[in-house]
Amino acid sequence: MREFRIFVQKEFFHIFRDRWTTLILLVLPVLMIILFGFGITTEIKNTKFAIYDTVKDEATRGITNKLETSEYFTFERYLQSPDEIEKLFREGQIGFVVVFGDERIQLIADGTDPNTASTLSNYATVLINSYMQEQSSELRATTAARGIITESRLLYNPTLKSAYNIVPGIMGMILMLICALMTSVSIAREKELGTMEVLLVSPMKPLLIILSKLVPYFTISIINYITILLLSVYILKVPIAGSLVLLTGLSLLFIFVSLMLGTLISTMVERQIIALLISGMVLMMPAVFLSGLMFPIESMPKVLQWISHILPVKWFIIAVRNVMIKGLGFDSIIREVAILSGMGLVILMASIKKFKYRLE
């Protein structure tokens, strides 16, 4: 046990004696949350909107008033014809347009910037719904009779969903980065330096060597997990809607899968740069794309969506979204948990099978 302890300590020395490693491991998550977070919160304030009203009754005026008085939106003008809608978007003057029809209320936003668009339509929908509820039952009866349902439609990108994607996305990326990338690089480093040869020609069990490498990155992942949660709750105001215990359990499972992935990569490569490239290209890039930070998943080509099924991070993001954002219980993530556990076991078996207690 003494050798295990000193090896864990050694690994921490490697991490904290290199200023850049420390910075990446501890500051990067904070930076990402703040950057992406503020990117979203500032854009919503004082967004201009226009209205195309074919009904012009008390309810539509009420809704217009409700939107106008909120801190998020500023009323631009009434439109005379639907043709003006696209013109306004092209000029980039407004964030969204509300169309009051006989049957329904329609929100139209610019889908070329999907995250902003979906945030805007979410906010507007919430405001419209709350207006409806505030009204007397009499009015509600009439609107219900008219069958008003709010429906958001995003121009150019009609299927985009939530902007809350960023917290689960960042969480997935950071945990992946630290567990898989850093672990594989640190093991590859021992091989490149030639120290692995010496470690192998010693009484210490090779599995114990690997395990001592996993402990520090596991610890740092936990710290980052807590940091991300604190930041998202207190800075981004994204509340933890579901059970914290469930969310933590889920994250531990994902950390385990990522650590195993890192180990597997390291058994296959001899050099740090290769480990870095594999982790970066095969793990990180998809994590960025699938987290919804840049592109909504639904707008990707079918082939890519299909490939995304084999990436653990995709399932993790879905599950976190369900638990943390939607506040759903364990029932809702059984499929994701099963898939992640399965992947973890398969990768564990593969890395044990591939693990070499000799050089080849």
Which residues of this protein are in contact with other proteins, per CB under 8 A? 2-3, 6-7, 10, 13-14, 17-18, 193-195, 197-204, 357-360
Strands 105-110 and 150-155: parallel
Residue placing its CB nearer to other proteins in the complex, 13 or 38: 13
The answer to whether the CB of 279 falls within 8 A of the CB of 265 is yes
Residue placing its CB nearer to other proteins in the complex, 92 or 203: 203
Burial of residue 301, with CB atoms counted within 10 A of its CB: 0-12 exposed, 13-18 middle, 19 or more buried = exposed
> d(Cα 195, Cα 11) in Å, to the nearest integer?
13
Reduced to 3 states (helix: H, G, I; strand: E, B; else coil), residue 356 is coil
> Which residues lie across from 98 on neighbouring strands?
51, 107
Residue placing its CB nearer to other proteins in the complex, 26 or 199: 199
Reduced to 3 states (helix: H, G, I; strand: E, B; else coil), residue 147 is coil
Q: How far is the CB of 258 from other proteins (least distance, A)?
A: 25
Residue placing its CB nearer to other proteins in the complex, 144 or 198: 198
DSSP secondary structure string, 101-125?
Answer: -SS-EEEEEETTSHHHHHHHHHHHH
Q: How far is the CB of 352 from other proteins (least distance, A)?
A: 18
Residue placing its CB nearer to other proteins in the complex, 47 or 267: 267
Q: How far is the CB of 3 from other proteins (least distance, A)?
A: 5
The answer to whether the CB of 173 falls within 8 A of the CB of 313 is yes
Sequence-distant (≥ 6) Cβ neighbours of residue 164 within 8 angstroms: 238, 321, 325
Residue placing its CB nearer to other proteins in the complex, 208 or 241: 208
> d(Cα 208, Cα 9) in Å, to the nearest integer?
14
Q: How far is the CB of 9 from other proteins (least distance, A)?
A: 9
Q: How far is the CB of 196 from other proteins (least distance, A)?
A: 9
> d(Cα 119, Cα 41) in Å, to the nearest integer?
9
Q: How far is the CB of 16 from other proteins (least distance, A)?
A: 10
Residue placing its CB nearer to other proteins in the complex, 1 or 145: 1
Q: How far is the CB of 358 from other proteins (least distance, A)?
A: 5
DSSP secondary structure string, 36-85?
Answer: HHHHHHHHHTTEEEEEEESS-SHHHHHHHHHHHHSSSEEEEEE-SSTHHH
- Please report, as a single letter, which amino acid is at residue 332: S
